[in-house]
Amino acid sequence: MKILPDLSPIARGTPGPLQPPVTQRHIETEIAKCVGGVISPLIMNIALHGMETAAGVRYFKRSRGGIETAPDAPVLVRYADDLLAFCHSREHAEQVRQQLAEWLRPRGLVFNEAKTQIVRVPRAQEGEVVM
């Protein structure tokens, strides 16, 4: 059983590894192929930086410390390419969706219409958990 790789010197004239030099590689293709990889969420978070501002999210400093979302602003929750926007009304949600669609367009991105929907989230009563 061989556990360690063979690190003996390679004889001259032996074909080298199949990996081309960096100048000959297609970086865009390599980045596109990492979809589903462990780095995908990081890449998407970098690409979507600024989305909260585009949606109209605003924060204010609380008097007892910390920050909080402004009462009339939406709340965005995002992980990689998944997004939830919590708004105060259906009209507000439609407005935020339009703002985000306009912000995504120059980046070559669009909402997946089959997966995108505006739904009402019921308010929980005291002691009740809504999931």
Is the pTM higher than 0.75?
A: no
Q: What is the pLDDT of residues 45-95, one digit of tens each?
A: 888 889 999 999 999 998 888 999 898 999 999 877 788 999 999 999 999
Give CA separation, 118 vs 5, 36, 41, 93, in Å.
55, 26, 24, 7
The span from the CA of 50 to the CA of 112, in Å, is 20
Looking at residue 128, the DSSP 8-state letter turns out to be -
Which three-class secondary structure string do you get for 69-114? ECCCCCEEEEECCEEEEECCCHHHHHHHHHHHHHHHHHHCCCCCCC
Length of the chain measured in residues: 131
